[in-house]
Structure 1
Amino acid sequence: MKREIMRRYFLDRQGAQARRSYFSRELRINLEFHRQTGKIVAILGTRRSGKSTYLLQLQQQLGLKPQQAMWVDFTEYLWQDFRVADWHLLWEVALEICAPHEPVFFLDEIQQLQDFESGLRYLQNQNAFIIVTGSNSSLFTRTLAESLRGKVLSYELYPLSFEEFLLFRNYSTEQSLDSRKKAEINNLLQEYLQWGGFPEVVLAHEPELKQHLLQSYVDTMLLRDVVERHEIKNVALVEKLFQKALLSFTKTFSVHKWYNDFKSQGMRLSKDTLYDYLHHLEESLFLITLQNKANPAAARKIYLVDNGLYQTIRSQPDKGQLWENACLVKLLRSGTRPHFWLGEQGEVDFITDTELIQASLELHADNIQREQDPLLRLNPHFPSAQPVLWLRTEPHAINPDPGIVVRSGL
């Protein structure tokens, strides 16, 4: 890459970023710790979850002068011919632009580069402050962990939480809530549960536009992160597999059953191919699978990183599924990756180190035994874990067993 092209790119990006605005996100990173230790900040998240915009928040937290921020988006065509030898040039140009200050690098979607770890190692040897983002869990986290042991800390950024959703919609919950406010929040929660928290989708008001945006995210993910990255020829199978996953969300799934379904449709494939493709879809971060703690070798349950993805198949899901999926993502956002339980004691949605959680949209006479009994039967096997019923709203006419804590809302 030519020096002047790189220099002009940096200056143009600095100007463009200075004109952008952002909403503050909940993810907090101790940047002073990274400054003192020299560890790379690595932010992992699905496409369109807001990683690039979040970098603006980090830039402000660092208190940088405009010329110090070196922005690179490795999905842009200009960087397709970037080679390992060009990292030295990148460092030199950055020093020229930001002199007499030190440059700080914001490297977006760095997994697009071949051998990116050697470039990060070079910049780190120059004592540069580096922040990178990526949207492929395997390429990003495994490569960083293997090549830069002890030199990087990773963080996960998910689509908007419900609190962030309210902020994006300019809705404040700081004042006391009267009946009108509670009704408004309930309607907004219903929208959030249906359409999810991808930032652009939240800001779009027309359902047709929301649908179009979500479909474009899925198309891009399937093409770039699965088909192109793994050089897959059978694109139709990838698309059908993703649809199967969407239709199975919050449920246990069987690759063997899917295999038989596809074979009955006349498709040529092997079971190993399905396992590989499903793994690639998980790496894209759009799908999440949980293990059964009662039997880790048994069928897993599948979830979506955002409720809105379900809207791409134009089918109306069960509201209880949407609630359970949203609860799971909130747990993940807090840094907790649970298991589920499906065994002799019944089914419990989520098991963490400290809680047994049953996610239920509401509690009433017809479902209270079904929801609380598995918690009570399983609790003796996990005596240090608190049984929890996680409801959309506080129960009114019915109260669960005194040993069960009720949690409401997102």
Structure 2
Amino acid sequence: MFLARKILPRLKSLLNEKQILVLTGMRRVGKTTLIKHLFNDLTTKNKIYYSFEDTLTRKKFSDDNYENLKRMLEGEGITFTEKAYIFIDEIQFLPNITSVIKYFYDEYDVKFVVTGSSSYYLKNHFTESLSGRKFVVELYPLTFNEFLVFKGEQREENVPFSKKVDLNLEIYEGKYKGLYEEYMKYGGFPDVVLNPSIDIKQEILKDIINSYFQIDVTTIADFDDIGKLRDLLIILTQRVGQKINISNISNVLKINRAKVYEYLELLKSTYVIHTVSQHSSADNRISADDKFYFSDTGIANVLSEVAAGSIFENSVFMNLVYDYDLTYYQTKSGGEIDFVLNKKLGIEVKETASAQDLLNLGKRAISASLDEYYIVTRNYSPIEKTIFAWDL
């Protein structure tokens, strides 16, 4: 049974546009399921689907002669006298495919829908040649609302923050808290969420990590020491939600600072980690002032034991990153607002909120010129302006 993701309506609307539709995100996050659904949903017969994980399929597209490729596609049922749809899964396995896509995009009425597991690949092989010809959509692990859908639960979405406060009743705490604890521990990869076995959940997560190192990293990058990259990930599990101390990591791993930045950029561009910049910063590059989070709490937990407060904050990040432009705010004295949403709304994450937490947040929100502010919590508190994490 197909379970819809919240991004599906956007993908359907972009399917009607001429531009190439690129769906990118970490391995096993659900990209293949979504584009297969889009493919099957098309009423036209002038369509074809390829997976580049298959060696023989990749070989079909290795010919540099575009006329030969055209004849191959025609032999497989594609007609170029009318609009055609070509779906390609995991394009990063064949770097020269971008020139093929560009040729058919420019010469014929072809809609390409492709997936890739890395913005690193897109940046290095897909950007210049297809500038202005593509829409790139990022897919993340499930939000908690999507997690509930996969668990057979339905509830109202898009509730304003001011209304979410009203849901923070003590008797309401138990309704979703148990499910949220599962979400925090095992994350939001669809296969993990759908499997009822704890042992199998953990095995799937381990397989995702192993596949990342064995397939994704070796396919898209030329790193001579994958062990250092794995060590870096384990170090990061102990620093979730903190600023990235490049010098310290360099000393611990015994590699130079430039290599640390290179590794961090790879982890970011392959969607293993995400960074959150300061409220005043507009620089998209990784900097020492960036805080970082894992794309999935399950991945972090299976790599190493993560502090409860850190994994909770990471889970809140997972629920906000889909819908908001996220930054964080820091005062001159070092006080922080964990997340600033669209430069307007402040979110402080506390497992249990106190009156002092609310007072401090209010002062910082005024300093940051924010319109609204709330505390997101894990445990019931009578403090006003508090929202349960599962109500985000």
The normalised TM-score by structure 2 is 0.84
Whether 2:255 is the aligned partner of 1:255: answer no
Larger RCO, structures 1/2 (Cα 8 Å, 6+ apart): 2
Give 1:235 shift: 2.4
Partner of 1:138: 120
Superposed, 1:4-403 pairs within 5 Å as 21-27=1-7, 28-29=9-10, 31=12, 34-35=15-16, 37-65=17-45, 68-81=46-59, 82-85=61-64, 88-98=67-77, 102-125=83-106, 126-141=108-123, 143-173=125-155, 183=174, 185-263=176-254, 269-293=255-279, 298-315=288-305, 317-334=306-323, 336-344=324-332, 346-352=335-341, 353-363=343-353, 367-369=354-356, 371-392=357-378, 395-400=380-385
Distance between the aligned counterparts of 2:345 and 2:63, measured in 1? Answer: 47
Partner of 1:16: none
Distance 1:406 1:225, change over 3 A: same
Distance between the aligned counterparts of 2:317 and 2:69, measured in 1? Answer: 41
Distance between the aligned counterparts of 2:216 and 2:14, measured in 1? Answer: 32
Give 1:119 shift: 1.2
Distance 1:376 1:240, change over 3 A: same
Distance between the aligned counterparts of 1:226 and 1:87, measured in 2? Answer: 30
Give 1:102 shift: 4.5
Distance between the aligned counterparts of 2:340 and 2:213, measured in 1? Answer: 31
**Retained in 2: the 8 A contact 1:388–1:407?**
no
| SS of equivalent to 1:291 | strand
- Deviations for 1:187-216, whole angstroms, at most 9, x for unmatched residues? 111111110110111122222211111111
Distance 1:229 1:347, change over 3 A: same
**Retained in 1: the 8 A contact 2:234–2:304?**
no
Give 1:114 shift: 1.8
Aligned length: 369
Unaligned runs of 5+ in 2: 157-169
The letter for the 1-side match of 2:383 is I
Give 1:121 shift: 1.0
Deviates more, 1:284-293 or 1:381-390: 381-390
The letter for the 2-side match of 1:225 is D
| SS of equivalent to 1:219 | helix
**Retained in 2: the 8 A contact 1:25–1:164?**
yes
Distance between the aligned counterparts of 1:302 and 1:291, measured in 2? Answer: 9
Distance 1:61 1:368, change over 3 A: farther
Give 1:304 shift: 0.6
Distance between the aligned counterparts of 1:22 and 1:372, measured in 2? Answer: 42
Query: Percent identical across equivalent pairs?
Result: 23
**Retained in 2: the 8 A contact 1:145–1:152?**
no
| SS of equivalent to 1:243 | helix
**Retained in 1: the 8 A contact 2:20–2:135?**
yes
| SS of equivalent to 2:376 | strand
**Retained in 1: the 8 A contact 2:147–2:188?**
yes
**Retained in 2: the 8 A contact 1:348–1:374?**
no
The letter for the 2-side match of 1:165 is F
Give 1:110 shift: 0.9
**Retained in 2: the 8 A contact 1:74–1:112?**
yes
Distance 1:385 1:209, change over 3 A: same
Distance between the aligned counterparts of 2:145 and 2:212, measured in 1? Answer: 26
The normalised TM-score by structure 1 is 0.80
Give 1:143 shift: 4.2
State the Cα RMSD in Å. 2.9
**Retained in 2: the 8 A contact 1:95–1:103?**
no
- Deviations for 1:314-362, whole angstroms, at most 9, x for unmatched residues? 42x333322221221222211x231112332511101232212112233
